[in-house]
Amino acid sequence: METEKTQTAAVQTDDRDLSEQIKKATKESHTRAENTEMMLSFQRGQVTLAQYKLLLCSLYEIYQALEEALDRNSNHPAVAPIYFPTELARLKAIEKDLEFFYGRDWREKIVVPDATKRYSHRLRQIGEENPQFLVAHAYTRYLGDLSGGQVLGRIAQKSMGLKNGDGLSFFAFPGVSSPNLFKQLYRSRMNSVELTEQERNDVLQEAVQAFEFNIQVFDGLQKMLSVAEKQQQDYSPNSKSVSARSIQLPQPNFSLVRKVLGLVVALVTISMGIYVVATPNTSYQRPTV
Ligand code: HEM
């Protein structure tokens, strides 16, 4: 649960606050992220199970890297103030959702686009080399999950007809009773991080980069889905796609086979008849008068 401080956090903003600067610096990126095909599907209530399942695979890869880096640097002066594993950690929730959709052997089934690998690689790299940049990445993901993410969760539930929160643990923050109050606390903690002017500028740039990574992940997932859909169309016998029609295999002509078989049977019958008539019967002796 969030601390008592959450409930009383003062809502005072200043242009020099990191939380204000980061919001401003990423405003345009946020709009682009909202307008990716994947996010538009969510907003229109048209998110499919295939889209959501693939998204979860990428989120697993991303949060594994992010939370490993945060855990490893939890005592770093730029990380400690924004380190809230009890309230925010997503990894276990995503694992639960993946098991719901893919079964117990989900680890062998998950697939991620290259863009996701590039994002998780960057997270691991800054975890080792520039832990202060984790502020930018944690802000982008966690504050996003606590903002638009909450609406997206409800849309996803309706679009896919999921019941009892099954498959939707990712969107649930049982340790945060008020997302708005928690975000206020989080922003005040971000503002308490001490950074030089250069470090601050670098963090702002890294936040823009974090949004860019997310946009590329969504685009990569969408590309994966359209390739899979196209392959399905190509191999489906009922497909109306041009490629499927143009590569149809020759089908056996059953009426011709039936006619040939009938002819063969007729010929065999006639031949046997001729044989019986033409051959003298040796076993039967006509009685002599
Ligand atoms: C369908 C897509 C999205 C919608 C509808 C949406 C909507 C919103 C809304 C309404 C807020 C403002 C909440 C508030 O002021 O309390 C917000 C904040 C935020 N969103 Fe999104 N969002 C979307 C996608 C994303 C994505 C993809 C990311 C990043 C990966 C993201 C990251 C953020 C962040 C970091 C904030 C906090 C901004 C701040 O207060 O500093 N959002 N979002």
CB of 39 closer than 6 A to ligand 1?
Answer: yes
Q: Is 187 annotated as a binding residue?
A: yes
Which residue's CA is the closest to the ligand 1 atom numbered 14? 147
Q: Does 32 contact ligand 1 (Cβ within 6 A)?
A: no
What the block records as the tokens of 114 is 């290259």
Atom of ligand 1 nearest to the CA of 215: 27
Higher pLDDT, 26 or 257: 26
| The domain defined by 4-235 carries CATH number 1.20.910.10 | yes
pLDDT digit string, tens, across residues 20-59 = 999 999 999 999 999 999 999 999 999 999 999 999 999 9
Task: For residues 144 and 148, give the distance between their C-alpha atoms in angstroms, rounded to a whole number.
Answer: 6
Our measurement of the distance from residue 86's CA atom to the centroid of its chain's CA atoms, rounded to an integer in Å, reads 24
For residue 275, the Cα-to-chain-centroid distance in whole angstroms is 75
Task: Quote the pTM value.
Answer: 0.80
Q: Which atom of ligand 1 is nearest to the CA of 23?
A: 41
Using a 6 Å cutoff on CB, does residue 144 contact ligand 1? yes
Instruction: For 170-187, write each residue's pLDDT tens digit.
Output: 999 999 999 999 999 999
Q: Give the number of the atom of ligand 1 that is nearest the alpha carbon of residue 140.
A: 35
